[in-house]
Structure 1
């Protein structure tokens, strides 16, 4: 991130304003003395239904031994992402409380990879903002589990009526998954063209593996 990408600073986070800001492509991260609101100069984006994504066979094969859960325990996914060792970790206790508040507003969602006994072994979480799903973080304890969660997310959000998955800053990992990098101005224009859509609510519980059809392009 650069100073040019920092568009606002606040001493606290107001969950009631979150959806409006996310709709503008702005999202928070903790910084010294408070929170910064960022709009990346380049944005990782998936446009659902327009760009063809195919789940790798090696990833789809995880469905033989695992199940996909949706919103079973979003805060458990947040906690797992926060406590997974990685460079640049940013999910601190204040962000966890913020996400807890967003869950109360039905804005926080998770896609989870679980064993048949219910153990959480991978997943991702993000925030819904109109027809945009803003991905915040992902983790895995089993190889390819976070990838499986991502491809399940693409299938689910397309089905629910979402138009865009926003991955925030482009990374090599996201590009390999199928995201594309857009200039910030292009992404702002894409958001401005967004209709006043209201996707259907996320389901809660385990998805049927046959319904996912992850080897088909999405």
Structure 2
């Protein structure tokens, strides 16, 4: 029988093989959300997901949902949206705003796990240059879609996305893929499978393959100058 590890102080994470089968991928509980702790976790494919004010829960699911940039699927309708040039784009201009939008309760009931502690922790990572946001704006300059996540080496760990207009979050993903292709990134971590991400080209791989992929990419630096986008979505095609 596997037991959930309670992290004490600066104690390191246990091996991913000790993660529970149910709930799937739960590895440890406790610890803090310092930049050092978070970066150390992501380097091993571990991420926090919990509802405040409960203790931090750390996860490493098996299988793992990932999107390889070459597999991005742009549907006919999404291609039409991009061609319409109806959205403008920005990078890292409204990081906290994007997180707060992602934290709003959605129709499917998800989103509430981004509490004040998570918000502060990832804003700290953003200030240090590790966390990035893609912003999609309407004709009036209002934020209507976006996503955020961490770039470590040549792996990008997607955290959450939101959309207030049709296709806005999908446009954000297309924009992200444009960046990571130019940066030589190998993979976008999507964490847990969803039909939405599958429709865009995501797939499941086993935890061992994911960790092997991290070993090949996590220490390979990328050019920070790739974090820029054309001003409008039509130029992504």
How would you bin the TM-score normalised by the shorter chain? Answer: 0.7 to 0.9
Correspondence for 1:13: 33
Task: From 192, 197, 212, give the equivalent of 2:236.
Answer: 212
Correspondence for 2:158: 135
Tell me the distance in 2 between the aligned counterparts of 1:205 and 1:212. 8
Task: From 2, 23, 40, give the equivalent of 1:3.
Answer: 23
Correspondence for 1:216: none
Tell me the distance in 2 between the aligned counterparts of 1:27 and 1:44. 13
Decide whether aligned partners of structure 1 residues 184 and 59 sit closer, same or farther in structure 2, where only a CA change above 3 A counts: same
Which structure carries more strand by proportion?
1
Tell me the distance in 1 between the aligned counterparts of 2:23 and 2:71. 34
Matched pairs, number: 211
Correspondence for 1:22: 42
**Per-residue deviation, 1:211:** 4.2
* Secondary structure at the counterpart of residue 65 of structure 1: coil
Could you say what the CA RMSD is over the residues aligned between the two structures, in angstroms?
A: 2.1
Q: TM-score, normalised by structure 1?
A: 0.87
Please identify, of 192-201 and 147-156, the stretch whose mean Cα deviation from structure 2 is larger: 192-201
Name which one, 1 or 2, has greater alpha-carbon Rg: 2
Tell me the distance in 2 between the aligned counterparts of 1:23 and 1:141. 32
Tell me the distance in 2 between the aligned counterparts of 1:4 and 1:178. 23
Tell me the distance in 2 between the aligned counterparts of 1:148 and 1:205. 12
Which ranges in structure 1 are unaligned for 5 or more consecutive residues? 214-218
Q: Does the Cα contact within 8 Å between 1:7 and 1:38 map onto a contact in 2?
A: yes
Q: Which has the higher contact order (CA 8 A, sep 6+)?
A: 1
Decide whether aligned partners of structure 1 residues 79 and 116 sit closer, same or farther in structure 2, where only a CA change above 3 A counts: same
Tell me the distance in 1 between the aligned counterparts of 2:129 and 2:152. 11
Task: From 81, 94, 103, give the equivalent of 1:73.
Answer: 94
**Aligned residue runs from structure 1 range 49-128, under 5 A:** 51-63=70-82, 64-85=85-106, 86-89=108-111, 90-128=113-151
**Per-residue deviation, 1:100:** 1.2
Q: Spell out structure 1 runs of 4+ moving beyond 6 A.
A: none
Q: Does the Cα contact within 8 Å between 1:47 and 1:164 map onto a contact in 2?
A: yes
Decide whether aligned partners of structure 1 residues 68 and 57 sit closer, same or farther in structure 2, where only a CA change above 3 A counts: farther
